Amino acid sequence: MTLSKSAIRYEEDYNLWLDQTITALRAGRFEELDVNALIDELESMSKRDKREVLSRLKVLLMHLLKWQYQSDKRTAS
C-alpha cells in the first residue's frame, strides 16, 4: 500500500498537514482531504478530551470530598 502525499505529510509534518487540511476544508476542496488521517485525528481528539474531562472531574470530586470531610484542615485561601 502506498501512502498519498497527504498521508506522508501527516506522518512527516503534522502541523503542515493540519494547516493544509483546514485550508482544504474551508475552501470546500474535499477531494484533497486525507480522510483516513482526518478520521484518526478526530478520534484521537475525542478520546483525549474525554480523558481530560474525566481527570478534571476526579480532581474536583477529591477537592469536594476533602472540603466536606476535612473541615478542620481548611485554610483561608
pLDDT mean for each 10 residues of the chain (77 residues): 62 90 95 93 97 98 93 79
Q: What is the pLDDT of residue 6?
A: 61
CB-based contact 67:75 (threshold 8 Å): no
Q: What is the pLDDT of residue 1?
A: 43
What is the sign of the dihedral through the CA atoms of 2, 44, 35 and 23?
negative
CB-based contact 67:74 (threshold 8 Å): yes
Q: What is the pLDDT of residue 56?
A: 99
Q: What is the pLDDT of residue 3?
A: 57
Maximum CA extent, the chain: 65
